[in-house]
């Protein structure tokens, strides 16, 4: 059973990515990082659409969105740090020439 089933009624695409990342965490960590990053990006994009208090950053990439001060205030520094780890490891997972999850 997935820890992310609670997302299914309102965010099925987000649930699918998060559950897939969870399922692959041990068997295929590189793929798990990819799915975790995708789920994070979907969630962050949803937050920007749903919360008018969030200001879109200078750039529309994930790094800028999670570093934007209104986002950091909303989620707090510990969650923002975790978001950045997922972003970096997800990027490394799809770039074979960079250090990453299976160093």
Per-residue pLDDT tens digits for 9-26: 999 999 999 999 999 999
Q: pLDDT at position 103, please? A: 45
CB 42 within 8 Å of CB 87: no
Please state, in angstroms and rounded to a whole number, the distance separating the CA atoms of residues 16 and 32: 12
Angle among Cα 93, 61, 90 to the nearest 5 degrees reads: 15
Evaluate if residue 64 carries a pLDDT over 50.
yes
Please state, in angstroms and rounded to a whole number, the distance separating the CA atoms of residues 34 and 26: 14
Is the pTM for the entire model greater than 0.85? Answer: yes
- CB half-sphere exposure, 8, CA atoms < 13 A: 8
Q: pLDDT at position 102, please? A: 54
């Amino acid at each position: 059973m997935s820890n992310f089933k609670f997302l299914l009624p309102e965010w099925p695409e987000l649930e699918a990515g998060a559950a897939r990342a969870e399922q692959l965490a041990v068997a295929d960590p590189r793929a798990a990082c990819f799915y975790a990053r995708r789920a994070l990006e979907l969630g962050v994009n949803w937050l920007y659409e749903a919360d008018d208090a969030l200001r879109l950053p200078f750039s529309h990439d994930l790094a800028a969105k999670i570093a934007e001060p209104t986002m950091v205030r909303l989620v707090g520094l510990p969650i923002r740090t975790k978001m950045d780890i997922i972003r970096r490891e997800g990027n490394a997972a799809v770039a074979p020439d960079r250090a990453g999850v299976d160093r």
